[in-house]
């Protein structure tokens, strides 16, 4: 039995008896560790808008957060 197999078996036993809080924690850890990037789920139009916004900000064309908050307060 490899060390990985032993760990998997032990984790499985813990999960069988885990309460909702532990299951949610483990789920969050596994989800955060996944290779899936939310960027890939965004529509291309949204990705383009974000890219354009970053370019504008880098060029100094953005509006400071404080100014926007003051305007819409």
Residue-by-residue pLDDT tens, the chain, 73 positions:
787 889 899 989 988 988 999 999 999 888 887 767 788 889 999 999 999 998 998 888 888 889 989 999 8
Reference 27, options 40, 41, 11; nearest CA is 11
Look at residue 27 and give its three-state secondary structure.
helix
Structure confidence at residue 36 (pLDDT)? 74
- Helix pair 20-33, 3-16: axis angle to 10 deg: 140
Q: Give CA–CA dist 8/61, Å, rounded.
A: 52
Structure confidence at residue 47 (pLDDT)? 94
Structure confidence at residue 37 (pLDDT)? 79
């Amino acid at each position: 039995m490899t060390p990985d197999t032993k760990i998997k078996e032990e984790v499985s036993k813990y999960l069988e008896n885990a309460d909702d809080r532990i299951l949610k924690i483990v789920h969050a850890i596994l989800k955060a560790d996944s290779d899936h990037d939310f960027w890939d789920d965004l529509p291309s139009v949204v990705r383009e808008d974000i890219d354009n916004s970053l370019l504008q900000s880098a060029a100094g064309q953005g509006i400071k957060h404080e100014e926007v908050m003051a305007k819409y307060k």
